[in-house]
Chains A and B, each alone.
Chain A
Amino acid sequence: MTGKFILMLSALMFSMAVLAADNQYVLGVDGLACPFCAYGIEKRLHKVDGVTDVQVDVGESLVRVTLQEGKTLTEERARQAVDEAGFTLRSYAEAGDEAGSSDAK
Chain B
Amino acid sequence: MRNVGKWLAYSTLGLVIALTLLGCAGGAINWNQEPPYSLVLAWGEKGSGPGQFNDPTGIAVTETEVFVSDARNGRIQVFDHQGRFKRAFGTAGDGPGELGRPMNLTIHDEKLYVPEYMNDRIQVFSLAGEPLEIIGGPGDGPGQFNAPGGVAVADNGDLLVTDFYNQRVQHLRRDGSFVRQWGTTGKTGKGAGEFTYPTDVALAGDGTLYVADGYGNRVQVFDTGGDFLHKWGGPFALGIYGPFKGWFTTATSIAIGPEGNVFVADFYNDRIQKFTAEGDYLTAFGSEPDNPGHTGMAVAIESDGTVWSVNFADNRVEKWQPD
Contacts and interface: CB of A to CB of B under 8 A. Distances in A.
A34 B268 contact: yes
A33 B294 contact: yes
B147 A40 contact: yes
Contacts of A34: 250, 252, 267-268, 294
A36 B149 contact: yes
B293 A58 contact: yes
Nearest to A58: B293
Interface string B285-312: 0000000111001000000000000001
B71 interface: yes
B147 A43 contact: yes
A36 B197 CA distance: 9
B296 to A, nearest CB: 10
A59 interface: yes
Contacts of B313: 33
Contacts of A39: 71, 101, 117-118, 147
Nearest to B250: A34
A33 B149 contact: no
Contacts of B149: 36
Given A35-B71, A36-B197, A86-B197, A43 B118 contact: yes
A33 B314 CA distance: 12
Contacts, number: 44
Interface string B161-195: 00011000000000000000000000000000000
Contacts of B250: 34, 36
A59 B292 CA distance: 5
B73 interface: no
Contacts of B214: 36
A40 B250 CA distance: 15
Given A40-B147, A43-B118, A35 B57 contact: yes
Nearest to A57: B292
Contact of A36 (B118, B164, B293): B164
Contacts of A43: 117-118, 147
A58 B289 CA distance: 13
Contacts of B71: 35, 39
Contacts of B118: 39, 43
A35 B100 CA distance: 13
B59 to A, nearest CB: 14
Contacts of A86: 165, 197, 215
B297 A35 contact: yes
A35 B55 contact: yes
B315 interface: no
A68 to B, nearest CB: 20
B165 A40 contact: yes
Interface in B134-157: 147, 149
Interface string A29-62: 0000111100110010000000000000011000
Contacts of A40: 147, 164-165
Interface in B44-77: 55, 57, 71
Contacts of A59: 292-293
Contact of A33 (B147, B197, B268): B268
B199 interface: yes
A33 B252 CA distance: 12
Contacts of B312: 35
Interface of A: 33-36, 39-40, 43, 58-59, 86
29 contacts: A33-B267, A33-B268, A33-B292, A33-B293, A33-B294, A33-B313, A34-B267, A35-B55, A35-B57, A35-B71, A35-B297, A35-B312, A36-B117, A36-B147, A36-B197, A36-B199, A36-B214, A36-B250, A39-B101, A39-B118, A39-B147, A40-B147, A40-B164, A40-B165, A43-B118, A43-B147, A59-B293, A86-B165, A86-B197
Question: When A and B form their complex, which 8 residue pairs have the shortest distance between CB atoms, in order from nearest?
Answer: A59-B292, A33-B293, A58-B293, A39-B117, A33-B294, A34-B267, A35-B57, A39-B101
